[in-house]
Structure 1
Amino acid sequence: MSNPEPSDLTRRRLLQGTALGAVAVPAAGLLSACATSGSEDSGDDVTNSGDAENPFGVDGTLPLDVVIFDGGFGDKYATEGHQVMYKEKFPEAEIVHSTEKDIAATQQPRFADGEPPDVLDDSGAGKIPIDSLVNDGLLAELTPLLEAPSYDDPNVTVQDTLVDGVLKPGIYNGKVYALNYAMGGWAIWYDGKLFEDQGWTAPTTWDEMMALCAEIKDAGIAPWTYAGQHPYYLWDSLYTLASRHGGREVSVAIDNLEPNAWKHESIKLAAEALYSLQDKGYVLKGTPGINHIDSQTKFNNREAAFLPCGSWLANEQIDVAPADFVYQAIGIPPLEGSVQPELVWSSGEEPFVVPAQAKNKPGAYEYLRMMLSKEGSKIFAEKAQSPTILKDQEITNPPAAALASLVTTAENAYRPQLADWYVDFKEQAEPVLGQMMAGEVTPDEFIDVAQKAADAVAESDVEKFTQEY
C-alpha cells in the first residue's frame, strides 16, 4: 500500500475515520517484526545522542503542546505529575495543555491544518484510528525513544524497561507508532468490604460463581450488572471464558477469520454460561438499558456484587465510590475442563502518539521518556489508579495492584482484536451480544450472527490482519 505525503492528505480522508488496527506480533523482536501497512516517516529528524540527560536535544525554551483524553484515567497524572516533571527539567518551557472528551472531533482538524499537538493521548470512543494516521504519514515512529537511555538507568534502554509484548498494538510494518502506556485489562470487579461483611469468598470456577450468585440473590443483592448500552463491555467475559476453556488459540482463530471459528465448542459453552446469568435472574433489573456510568454507580452503591469492566474503573468512579469501598478483581472464573484457566485480557492501552508535524518533537519524545520512568509510572498508578507498562514498577494503589496481580505470565495475557480491526463485524455482532445477555436471542442465534459477520469480512476486500503471539 502506498502512503501519501502529509501534504497530499485531504480533509475528507482524514475526517472520515476507519476502525482498523495494527496486527499483533510476537513479543520478541518487536521492532523488526512483520505487521501491517505503515508510514514512511522514520523519525530521523529526532536523533538519539545517547546522552542520558537530554538524548533528543530538547530546546528547553520551546513550548510543549499536550492533549490528554478526558476519560476514565482523568488528566491529573499529566497536570499534577508528568508535566510537573517536564517543567522541573525545562523551567522556561510553557506547557500548552488541553483535555478533550472527543479526540477525533477536536484533533482531526488540527492534523488537517498541519497544526497537531506535540503529544496526543489518542483514546476513547472518539479516538482517531491510528492506522489511518500511520498510513497517511501523520505520525512519527518511536524507535528513537525506545532506543534511548532510560530515565532511571542510562545503561538500560527505554524498551528494555517495558513489559514484554506491550508494544504490539502500536506496531505497523515493524515500527512502533503508538505507545500504549497503561497496562490495561479487563476483569470482573467486586467490593472486598461487601464480601467480607457478607462472608462471601470470590469464586475460582464458574460452578462456584453460579452457586455464589444464588446466595447473593437470596441476600437481596443482584449478583451482576454491566454497561447494557455498550455491549463491547461484554466481549472480555465471552472471549476470556471461551479462551480459558479452549486455550488462547480459540481467540486467535476468531481474530484471523478462520472458517467456523465461532462454532468452536468453547465459544458455545461460554455464550451459554453468560446467558444463564440472566436466565436465572442473576442480573440487576434494568441493566440492558443503562450506560457504563450507571452500571458502575450501581456497583459502587452495592446494588450488584459483580461488574465486568476495564482498568479505568476505580479512577472514573473516584468521586462516587464510598470511602470504604475496596476494589478487588478476578478474571472471569473458568468453566470446568478449562485448559488455560489463568488467561487474562491484558495489554498496553491508552495510546500516546507523536505527530510527524509536531512543532516540538524532541520535547515530545522526552515527555514520553519521563512518563516511562519509575517516578512517572508511580504517578500514573496513584493518580489514575492503574499500572503502566513499566517492568517491576512499585504499585501502592490497591485497585492498580489488584489488576496487575491477575497477569501471572506473558503466556497468560492476550488481547482479542476482531472487533477493533473490522468495524463491519463489530456493528453486526456487538448489538446481538447485548441482546443475548438481555435474553432476547439465544446463544446459538448470537453465534450464527457472529459467524456470518466474520465470514462477510473474510470474503470482503477489506485489508486483513493477522494475530500472533
Structure 2
Amino acid sequence: MTLGRRHFLAAAAVAPLAACVTQPGPAPSGEVSSTSATPSPSPTATESLPFGLEVPGDVHAVVFDGAFGVAYVRDAARTMRENHPGLRVTVESSDDITADVSALFEEGETPPDLVDNSGSHQLAVADIADRLLPLDDLMAAENLEGETIAETLYSGVVQAGTFNGRHVALDYALSVFGLWHSASHFAAQGWAVPTAWDELLELGEQAKGLGQHLFVWGDEAASYYAELAISSAIKEGGHEVRRALDNLEADGWRHPAVAGVLQAMEACVEAGFVLHGGAYIEAQAEWSLQQRALFYPSGSWIAREMDSRTTQGFEMTVAPVPTLTAAPTLPPAAVHAQPVEQFIVPEDADNPAGGLELLRVMLSRQAAEAFARTNLVPTVVRTTVPADLESTALVAQTRLLADAGEDVYSWRFVSHYGLTEDYNRLWGRFLSGDLGAAALGDELQSLSDAVREDPSIRRYTVD
C-alpha cells in the first residue's frame, strides 16, 4: 500500500459521484431465480467469454447475506444464463462465511467459484491469499458495455485488493464511514453534530434530558466502535497513527491520539450515554426506529440494512467522526471511506472462469446502477449512481466525500488479519463497562503484537 491509496476517492472519485447524485432472512440457495424487473443487458459483438468459460457448465458462488442481501448477485447470474444458455449458475447465501467456506480451502476440498468474503465471520485473506486467482485478466477484460473494466473503476480499488503483490480481491461497494443520525431530529432540536469529543459529551447531557443516549451497540457489531475510535484517532494524530496501527507497530495502540480517543469513549460509557441494544439488528432499530440513541457509527450499508426499520421522516444522514481537539492534524472534514464487500475467486475451484465471468457481469454499468438504486450505496464502478435517485443517505455520502477532498483515509489490518471476532469480544466488554480504556488498549495491542510476531503470517506494510 502506498500513501496514494488514501486518495482513492479524491479528485478522480469525488467529482463523478457528486455529479451523479441529486440527492432478513437468508435467501434460499440453489439454481438462480430472480424477481427483479431490471432487464438484462443484451449480448453485443464485444461480449465474449474472455476467461475461457465453457458452455454448458456449472458456476457456484457463495455470497454473504448481510446488508446488501444476495439478490444483486443472483440478478447478475440470471444475466449470465440469459446471455449464455446452457450455463447453470448457483448462488448460495451464507451468514457465516468462515463456517461455510473455510474448510473448503483445505487440502483435497473444492472451494466455490466465487466467494463474497464479508461479514463479521469473514476469512482472513492473509491466510489464503496465495490460493486465490489473480484478477489481472478481469481488469483487462471488457464489461458488458464494451469498456475495459480497469478504466471504469475508482482509483485505489485495485490496490485495496492487492495482497503480497497480487491483485486477488475485488471490493464491490464503496462505503463512507461516520456518525449516522437523523437530520430531521437534529434540525428539530436545533443541534449541530459535534466536531470534537468534549462537545459530544455536552450533547450527551442534552440528549439524556430527552430520554436518549448518544450511542447504541449490538452484540455482533460492537467492533463498529473500533472503527469510530481508529477513524477519530487518525484525524487527531494524522497519518502516523494510520501507519502505526495498520503496520501493527509495537506501540500503535498507545499513541497519545489513540489513548485520548479511548478515554473520551470511556467517559461516554461511564456517563451512561451508551446503550446496549442486544442483537445488532435490534440495536440498530433502537436507533433508527425507536430513536433511543442519537448516533450509530457505521459504513454506508446501514441505510439499506435498516430501510424497513427506520421511522418515517427520519432523514438518515452521516457526519464525520469527532476529533479530540479543535486543532487536529487532519481537518475536521477528513473522512474514512473504502471499498467493501470483498469478492474472491479461489484458484482450486471447479470453475474459476465462471467466478470471473460472474464478477464481470456484476461490474457492468447496468448491474452497478441497479445496486446503487437498491442499496443506496455506490459501487466501485464510476458514474453509476442513477441521476434520478433521491436519498438523504446517498446525498450525505457524496457531500462528505466532496468536503473531505484529498483527506480521505483507510486501513485494512482488522479484516485482513482476521481480528474482527476478537475485536467484537473486546469492544463488547468495553462498551458494557467491564473493561477500561487503558486495558482495552493493552488487549488490542496484544492482538497486533501476536500477528506481528507470528512468522507464519505474511504481513503487508503501508507508507
Number of residue equivalences: 415
Aligned to 2:379: 388
Provide the residue aligned with 1:216 in structure 2.
Answer: 207
Shift in CA distance, 62/401, structure 1 to aligned 2, threshold 3 Å: farther
Q: Alpha carbons of 1:266 and 1:283: their partners in 2 closer, same or farther (altered >3 Å)? A: same
- Structure-2 separation of matches of 1:425 and 1:108: 16
> For the residues of structure 2 that align with 1:27 and 1:151, how far apart are their CA atoms?
30
Q: Provide the C-alpha distance between the structure 1 equivalents of 2:395 and 2:110, rounded to a whole number of angstroms.
A: 39
Q: Which residue of 2 aligns with 1:414?
A: 409
Alignment of 1:152-191 (within 5 A): 152-154=145-147, 157-191=148-182
- Is 1:296 the counterpart of 2:284? The answer is yes
What is the letter of the counterpart of residue 87 of structure 1?
A: R
- Residues 85-123 of structure 1: per-residue CA shift (max 9 Å, x gap): 323422443322221222233334555555433222122
SS in 2 for 1:63: strand
Q: What letter corresponds to residue 272 of structure 1 in structure 2?
A: Q
1:379 has 2:370 as partner? yes
1:123 to 2:118 alignment:
yes
What is the Cα deviation at residue 455 of structure 1?
4.1
Partner of 1:283: 274
* Contiguous gaps of at least 5 residues in structure 1: 1-23, 29-50
Aligned to 2:314: 325
Q: Aligned partners of 1:457, 1:101: CA distance in 2, in Å?
A: 26
Identity %: 28
Correspondence 1:442 to 2:436: yes
Note if contact 1:386-1:400 (Cα within 8 Å) is conserved in structure 2.
yes
Instruction: Quote how far apart the aligned CAs of 1:338 are.
Output: 0.9
Q: Match of 2:460, as an amino acid?
A: T
Deviations 1:410-433 (A, max 9, x none): 743333334335568974x76444
> What is residue 236 of structure 1 aligned with on the other side?
227
2:120–2:220 contact (8 Å) kept in structure 1? no
**Residue 219 of structure 1: CA displacement?**
2.0
Pairing 1:29-178 to 2, within 5 Å after superposition: 52-54=46-48, 55-79=50-74, 81-112=75-106, 114-135=109-130, 137=131, 139-154=132-147, 157-178=148-169
Query: Unaligned 5+ residue runs, structure 2?
Result: 6-44
Q: Is the 8 A contact 2:124 2:417 kept in 1?
A: no
| Amino acid paired to 1:468 | V
Alignment pair present for 1:260 and 2:251: yes
The separation in 2 between residues aligned to 1:464 and 1:108, in whole angstroms, is: 18
Name the CA distance, whole Å, in 1 between partners of 2:164 and 2:142.
24
Task: Work out which structure has the larger RCO, using CA pairs closer than 8 Å and 6 or more positions apart in sequence.
Answer: 2
User: Residues 197-229 of structure 1: CA distance to partner in whole angstroms, max 9, x if unpaired?
Assistant: 433333344344333332222222222212255
TM-score normalised to structure 1 length: 0.79
1:370 corresponds to 2:361: yes
SS of the equivalent of 1:209 reads helix
Take 1:403 and 1:436, find their aligned partners in 2: how far apart are those partners? 29
- Structure 1 residue 260: Cα displacement: 2.5
1:294 aligned partner, one-letter code: E
1:461 aligns with 2:455: yes
In the alignment, which of 244, 247, 270 is matched to residue 238 of structure 2?
247
Root mean square deviation of aligned Cα: 2.9
Q: Give the corresponding residue for 1:19.
A: none
The alignment status of 1:334 with 2:288, answered yes or no, reads no
Give the whole-Å Cα distance in 1 for the aligned partners of 2:251 and 2:273: 31
Q: Are the aligned partners of 2:126 and 2:457 in contact in 1 as well (CA < 8 Å)?
A: no
The 1:269/1:78 distance shift into structure 2, 3 A limit, reads: same
Determine the C-alpha separation between the residues in 1 that align with 2:197 and 2:440. 21
**Residues 278 and 250 from structure 1, CA distance in 2 versus in 1: closer, same or farther, beyond 3 angstroms?**
same
Q: State the shift of 1:52 in Å.
A: 3.0
Quick one: distance in 1 between partners of 2:307 and 2:260?
A: 36
**Residue type of the partner of 2:124?**
P
Alignment partners' CA distance in 2, 1:265 and 1:95: 52
- How big is each residue's C-alpha offset from its partner over 1:339-397, in whole Å with a ceiling of 9 and x where there is no partner? 21333332221111222234443343232122122211111112233221122332536
Contact 2:215/2:273, CA 8 A, preserved across alignment: yes
CA offset at residue 326 of structure 1?
A: 2.2
Contact 1:194 / 1:302 at 8 angstroms: preserved in 2? Answer: no
The corresponding residue for 2:397 is 403
Change (3 A) 1:278 1:145: same
> How many Å separate the matches in 1 of 2:146 and 2:162?
25
Which stretch of the first structure deviates more once superposed, 105-114 or 122-131? 105-114
User: Are the structure 2 counterparts of residues 439 and 100 from structure 1 closer, same or farther at C-alpha, using a change threshold of 3 Å?
Assistant: closer
TM-score by length of 2: 0.80
